Structure 1
Amino acid sequence: MYGLLHFFEKNGFYVASRLADRLGMRATQVRLFFVYISFITVGLGFGLYLTLAFLLKLKDMVYTKRSSVFDL
């Protein structure tokens, strides 16, 4: 198990530097891009969840069935 972990730690962290070399950028800029994208996507998912929850609550408040006119 530790051999597999050591392999991925040794060879897996060169992704940003290899991508930066291919694009002609600095590795820190590529890493910052990945960090910012991860925060944005998590934030968008949470925002979408809150928006849908609000809309469903609003729909339930507006479209409640009333049995008669006197239930107002």
Structure 2
Amino acid sequence: MFQRIITFFEKQSFGVCTYLAERLNISISKIRLFFIYSSFLAVGFPIVFYVLAALVLDVRHYIKKIRMRIWDV
């Protein structure tokens, strides 16, 4: 049951922690723990940062996708 919940959230996440971990060369679990602990200490501010980062990553992915289509023509 617990493993199904973890798998669901990993598949449905936006990839912010994965992106940051790859860029900073840190393990993904440390980044996730940082977001969890800091959200308790900072009263939810990291959650706002996470959502904004997810939107930025999504927009970047969309722009790259459009660029590929333009150059493929």
The TM-score, its normalising length taken from structure 2, stands at 0.48
Tell me which structure has the larger Cα radius of gyration: 1
The TM-score, its normalising length taken from structure 1, stands at 0.48
**Which structure would you say has the larger RCO, counting Cα contacts within 8 Å and 6 or more residues apart?**
2
